[in-house]
Structure formats: structure tokens, C-alpha cells
């Protein structure tokens, strides 16, 4: 039964609930996908930088180990450098 909203004691609560549900709907449709995409980009970039850092450190260690092993078999007198 329609009535005057100013005489209904719960009209303020129902209006606030309607506004809150609309804002939540808009946020779920716009902000959450953007946050997911940005998090994926940021964490993906961090992972790529981490993998590059670890691979460079691994290659440096591998070259130093190979150099040390070659120093065992060949002396510096026969070295080309």
C-alpha cells in the first residue's frame, strides 16, 4: 500500500539500503575487475623482474664455477686471455 514516505518510520533506512546496494553493484562491475587486472600486472611484473634477477645471479655463479673448474685443469700459462 503506497503511503507518504515522511510518515513511514523506515523510509530513511530503505532509501539508504537502496543507495548502498546500487553503489555496491556499480563497484562490483567497475572497480573490482580493474583492481584484479592491475594486481595481475603488478605481480606479474614483479615476478618477471625476480626471475630475471635470479637468472642473472645464477649465470654469474655458473661462469665463476666454470672458471674455477677450468683453472684446475689448465694453468694460467696456457690461457688465451
Structural domain including 39 reads 11-78
Q: What CA–CA distance (Å, rounded) separates 3 from 43?
A: 54
Residue 2's pLDDT is 61
Could you tell me if residue 2 is inside a domain? no
> Model confidence at 1, in pLDDT bands (50, 70, 90)?
very low
Grid cell, residue 19, equals 543507495
pLDDT in tens, 21-44: 999 999 889 999 999 999 999 999
CB 11 within 8 A of CB 5: yes
- Where residue 81 falls among pLDDT bands split at 50, 70, 90? low
What domain count does the chain have?
1
Asked if residue 5 has pLDDT above 80, the reply is no
- Using a pLDDT cut of 90, give the percent of the chain over it: 60
Residue 22 lies in a domain: yes
Amino acid at each position: 500500500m503506497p503511503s507518504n514516505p515522511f510518515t513511514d518510520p523506515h523510509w530513511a533506512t530503505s532509501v539508504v539500503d537502496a543507495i548502498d546496494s546500487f553503489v555496491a553493484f556499480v563497484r562490483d562491475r567497475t572497480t573490482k575487475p580493474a583492481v584484479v587486472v592491475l594486481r595481475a600486472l603488478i605481480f606479474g611484473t614483479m615476478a618477471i623482474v625476480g626471475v630475471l634477477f635470479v637468472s642473472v645471479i645464477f649465470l654469474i655463479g655458473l661462469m665463476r664455477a666454470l672458471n674455477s673448474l677450468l683453472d684446475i685443469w689448465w694453468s694460467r700459462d696456457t690461457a688465451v686471455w
